[in-house]
Amino acid sequence: MSETNSTPVLFTRAGIAAGALRTLPVATGGLAFGVFYGFLAGQNGLTLLETALMSAWVFAGASQFLSVELWGDPLPVGALIATVLVINARHILMGATLGPWLKHIPPWKAYGSLYFMTDESWGLSVADIRNGGRDAAFLLGSGLTLFLFWNTGTILGRIFGEMLPDLNRYGIDFLGTAFFVALLAGFWRGRGDLIPWIVAAAVALVMERYVPGTWYILGGALAGSLVGALRHVR
Partner 1 sequence: MFGEYQGVAVIALMGLATYATRAGGFWLIQRMRPSRFLEVWLGQIPGAVFAALCAPLVLNSGPAGWIAGLLTLAVARLSGNFLAAMATGVAAIALLRLM
At its nearest, how many Å lie between partner 1 and the CB of residue 75? 6
* Exposure string over 37-70, b if 16+ CB within 10 A, otherwise e: bbbbbbeeebeeeebbebbeeebbbbbbebbbee
* Closer CB to partner 1, 51 or 161, in the complex: 51
When computed from its CA atoms, the radius of gyration of the chain, rounded to whole angstroms, is 19
The 10 Å CB-count burial string (b at 16+, else e) for 156-193 is: bbbeebeeeeeeeeeeeeebbeebeeebeeeeeeeeee
Choose the binding region for partner 1 from 8-16, 117-125, 144-152, 154-162 (rule: CB under 8 A).
117-125
Residues 6+ apart with CB under 8 A from 99: none
Shortest Å distance, C-beta 215 to partner 1:
10
Number of residues that bind partner 1 (CB under 8 A): 94
- Asked if 121 and 23 count as a contact pair (C-beta separation under 8 A), the reply is yes
- Does residue 13 belong to the site contacting partner 1 (CB under 8 A)? no
Nearer to partner 1, 35 or 126 (CB): 126
**CB of residue 222 to partner 1, shortest distance in Å:** 8
Closest approach of Cβ 95 to partner 1, in Å?
3
Dihedral sign, Cα of residue 184, residue 187, residue 189, residue 192? negative
216/205 Cα distance (integer angstroms) = 7
Cis before 74? omega within 30:
yes
Q: Is 80 in the site for partner 1 (CB under 8 A)?
A: yes
111 part of the interface to partner 1, by CB under 8 A: yes
Taking CB under 8 A as the criterion, the residue among 8, 96, 165, 191 binding partner 1 is 96
In terms of CB distance, is 14 or 56 closer to partner 1? 56
- Residue 4 or 7 having the CB closest to partner 1: 4
Site membership for partner 1, residue 21 (CB under 8 A): no
Task: Kindly tell me which residue out of 14, 164, 211, 226 binds partner 1, with binding defined by CB under 8 A.
Answer: 226
- Contacts of residue 52, Cβ cutoff 8 Å, sequence gap at least 6: 151, 154, 155, 158
Q: Counting contacts by CB under 8 A, is residue 30 touching partner 1?
A: no
- For partner 1, the binding residues in 152-211 under the rule CB under 8 A are 169-172, 174-189, 193, 196-205, 208
**Interactions with partner 1, residue window 44-63 (CB under 8 A):** 46-47, 49-50, 53-54, 57-60, 63
Considering only residues 120 through 149, tell me which ones interact with partner 1, judged by CB under 8 A: 123, 126
